[in-house]
């Protein structure tokens, strides 16, 4: 993943600072003129509801100037120390990393079963993180990528499919440079990608299926942005997390630390 993100974002530094906790608002939708007129006719406010304030862990590499950045999106179980360790590794490659916590401010325990899967508006959280990073003096706003794991990978895929110029209360020119995903639910890839996207998944993953990603890659041929897919043989879900060195089942699905090739990603 290092080489791929480096090619997409360009530029690395070395060494790092410790992380800090920051807060930023989730992005709100931009109301259309029709919505504003209808609200005015009803006597309602023509303003958006207040945005949810999200906490996140921000890590910054040492070095002068502006750095490329990554918004890291946790999986369905919520933010864990494993995600923060991943963020530290990416930071040590020279990226500013922001890890939003989408579940805690909304009182969500997890989103691992269908009835809880779409409770948190995580696309809006990711765009809120993008906007926050773009205002930092040590971040290059033209080189910000989104990286998602499992449920968070699905969020990253949704972002990679949509052009958000008129959707959110943010500058039209601000957008993610690229998307990278670990074992995402590729069945949601039903539209052409608008930014280059990387998918990493194991062929023994029984939670998010490699076959769905292979089918999605075929559908993306000839689209405006490329989909790069790597399927690791003999590898299960959550293959990049050391805490799953011993295989276990969660919600009926196997998760296990991957083989040597997958561990190097």
Q: What is the pLDDT of residues 182-200, one digit of tens each?
A: 999 999 998 889 999 999 9
Hey, what are 242's tokens? 């050391």
At 7, the pLDDT band (50, 70, 90 cuts) reads: very low
Mean pLDDT of 78-92: 86
Beta strand 96-101 with 139-149 is unpaired
Q: How far is CA 87 from CA 59, 75, 93, 124, 200, in A?
A: 8, 14, 10, 20, 17
* DSSP one-letter string for 37-106: HHHHHHT--SSPPPPPEEEEEEE-BS-SS-EEEEEEE--TT---HHHHHHHHHHHHTT-EEEEEE-SGGG
Measure the CA–CA gap between 9 and 95, rounded to whole angstroms.
Answer: 10
Is residue 161 within 8 Å of 185, Cβ to Cβ? no
What would the pLDDT profile of 198-216 be if each residue is shown by its tens digit?
999 999 999 999 999 999 9
Instruction: Supply the Cα-derived Rg of the chain in whole angstroms.
Output: 18
Would you place residue 179 in the very low, low, confident or very high pLDDT band (cuts 50, 70, 90)? very high
Q: How far is residue 131's CA from residue 126's CA, in Å, rounded to a whole number?
A: 9
- Map residue 139 onto helix, strand or coil: strand
Query: Is residue 37 scored above 80 in pLDDT?
Result: no
Q: Are 126 and 71 in contact (CB under 8 A)?
A: yes
Which residues partner with 255 through β-bridges? 237, 248
Closest of 76, 70, 230 to residue 154, by C-alpha: 76
CA distance linking residue 10 with residue 57, whole number of Å = 23
Quote the percentage of the chain above a pLDDT of 70. 78
Gap between the Cα atoms of 93 and 84, Å rounded: 14
Q: Helices 151-161 and 122-134 sit at what angle, rounded to 10 degrees?
A: 70
For 40-72, what is each residue's pLDDT tens digit? 556 555 455 567 899 999 999 988 899 999 999
The pTM for the full model equals: 0.82
Average pLDDT over all residues of the chain: 81
Name the one residue in this structure whose structure tokens are 């504003």: 36
Q: Would the CA dihedral through 12, 14, 94, 151 be positive or negative?
A: positive
Alpha-carbon distance of 209 to 228, in angstroms, equals 16
Q: Is the pLDDT of residue 114 over 60?
A: yes
The CA dihedral of 256, 234, 113, 215, to the nearest 10 degrees, is: 150
Question: The sheet that has 20-25: what strands, in order across it?
Answer: 20-25, 53-59, 96-101, 67-73, 139-149, 178-182, 197-202, 227-232
């Amino acid at each position: 993943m290092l080489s791929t993100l480096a090619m997409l974002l360009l530029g690395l530094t070395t060494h790092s600072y410790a992380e800090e906790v920051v807060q930023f608002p989730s992005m709100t939708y931009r109301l259309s003129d029709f919505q504003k007129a209808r609200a005015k006719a009803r006597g309602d406010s023509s303003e958006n509801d207040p945005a949810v304030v999200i906490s996140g862990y921000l890590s910054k590499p040492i070095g002068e100037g502006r750095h490329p950045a990554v918004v890291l999106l946790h999986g369905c179980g919520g933010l864990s120390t494993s995600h923060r360790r991943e963020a530290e590794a990416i930071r040590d490659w020279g990226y500013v990393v922001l890890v939003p916590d989408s579940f805690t401010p909304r009182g969500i325990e997890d989103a691992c079963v269908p009835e809880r899967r779409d409770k948190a508006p995580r696309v809006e959280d990711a765009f809120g993180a993008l906007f926050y990073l773009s205002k930092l003096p040590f971040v290059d706003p033209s080189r910000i990528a989104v990286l998602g794991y499992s449920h968070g990978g699905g969020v990253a895929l949704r972002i990679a499919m949509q052009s958000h110029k008129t959707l959110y209360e943010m500058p039209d020119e601000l957008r993610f440079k690229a998307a990278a995903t670990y074992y995402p639910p590729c069945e949601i890839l039903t539209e052409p990608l608008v930014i280059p996207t990387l998918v990493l998944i194991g062929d023994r993953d029984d939670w998010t299926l490699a076959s769905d990603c292979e089918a999605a890659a075929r559908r993306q041929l000839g689209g405006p942005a490329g989909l790069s897919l790597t399927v690791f043989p003999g590898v299960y879900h959550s293959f990049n997390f050391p805490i799953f060195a011993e295989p276990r089942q969660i919600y009926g699905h196997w998760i296990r630390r991957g083989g040597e090739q997958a561990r190097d990603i």
